Amino acid sequence: MYKTITATYTDKFALENVADELVNKDIPRENFFIDEKTSQVKVMMPESAESEIIDILNRHGPTEVH
């Protein structure tokens, strides 16, 4: 089953760094979306990958993860 996690950042560089790290971890580009207007990253992933994805998102100082 798939789940979507959304992380909000205050820094546009964090968005780029998160995207780079997700790609480097072989997360397909079509499984995540960067919204620069709201400074959010939305990742759709299998529940089995949730802890790894949350670790990646938290490494870049989000203000909120849900």
Q: Which residue has the tokens 């709201």?
A: 38
Q: How confident is the model at residue 1 (pLDDT cuts 50, 70, 90)?
A: confident
Alpha carbon distance 61, 28 (integer Å)? 22
Complete domains list, the chain, with CATH: 2-65 (3.30.1370.120)
| pLDDT value at residue 61 | 97
List of residues 6+ apart from 19 with CB closer than 8 A:
32, 34, 41
Amino acid at 39: S
Digit-coded pLDDT (tens) for 32-57 = 999 999 999 999 999 999 999 999 99
